[in-house]
Structure 1
């Protein structure tokens, strides 16, 4: 006896739903991923011609020429900077932090202070400057 064989259609994989799922996953990961934004460190030199007066912040960190720090009335070493700044962090987050660095202070000491402030979530950091003296005018000789 002869059985009639059913003719099978060739097997095809429909890629449309697969592509839809891949695009949805891509959109999900793009939206849910946090991107690290690198912000340039903009330093204002200790002497500035274009500096503007701003209101005084209740939290001021002084960087001395010798690499020491002073927060309020307390003298600090580099090791104690993190703890002292953490105690003032709430006030600094609210009103901002002013860094008064000596013109001859090492760059590494200033960066250490800015790094500690960033680690504590202090985003409003200003660097204090002084007004530049005008350059001397050349004198004319006859």
Structure 2
């Protein structure tokens, strides 16, 4: 005797509710997450009038007015600055790096030095200044009668 076989409907998985749940979770995490923008180097430049003397650091980078760098008593070309900082990076990460830039040094040369320090993971960077001789650091315009 032959029994008739029941026809089974093909099994389908409805993905619409799953996609809805995933989108709701995505929206929830996007709304509840706080985004924090961080700079590579967080520097607070000291005022030369009220600057406080800091402890000396064993790693000091000098930027001359001509754009020449000096590190550990050696003169460096801009191309070799990264390699020289890499050699001193461990000590600079521990004790910090002091950048002594000449008053006539180009801004681009100082930024290049700070960028190379950031690439080496040096986060404690101080910019050396000298104490101002007068309490007025900026000249005031003359008053007109």
Mark the runs of 5 or more structure 2 residues left unpaired by the alignment. Answer: 1-13, 137-145
Trace 1:20-31 onto structure 2 (pairs within 5 A).
20-26=21-27
SS in structure 1 of the partner of residue 85 of structure 2: helix
In the alignment, the residues of structure 1 paired with residue 101 and residue 32 of structure 2 have an alpha-carbon distance, to the nearest angstrom, of 40
Task: Determine whether 1:56 maps to 2:28.
Answer: no
Partner of 2:66: 66
CA 65–14 in structure 1, closer or farther in 2 if over 3 Å, else same = closer
CA 135–109 in structure 1, closer or farther in 2 if over 3 Å, else same = same
1:43 and 1:127 in contact (8 A); partners too: no
Deviates further, 49-58 or 21-30:
21-30
Query: Could you tell me the TM-score, scaled by structure 1's length?
Result: 0.70
Partner of 2:4: none
Partner of 2:90: 90
1:44 and 1:129 in contact (8 A); partners too: no
SS in structure 2 of the partner of residue 103 of structure 1: coil
Query: Could you tell me the TM-score, scaled by structure 2's length?
Result: 0.69
1:98 and 1:126 in contact (8 A); partners too: yes
Q: List per-residue Cα deviations over 1:66-124 (Å, max 9, x = no partner).
A: 10010021111111111100000111111111100000101111011001011111111
SS in structure 2 of the partner of residue 90 of structure 1: helix
Mark the runs of 5 or more structure 1 residues left unpaired by the alignment. Answer: 1-12, 137-142
SS in structure 2 of the partner of residue 89 of structure 1: helix
How many aligned positions are there? 122
Task: Give RMSD over aligned pairs.
Answer: 3.3
SS in structure 2 of the partner of residue 112 of structure 1: helix
In the alignment, the residues of structure 2 paired with residue 135 and residue 36 of structure 1 have an alpha-carbon distance, to the nearest angstrom, of 36
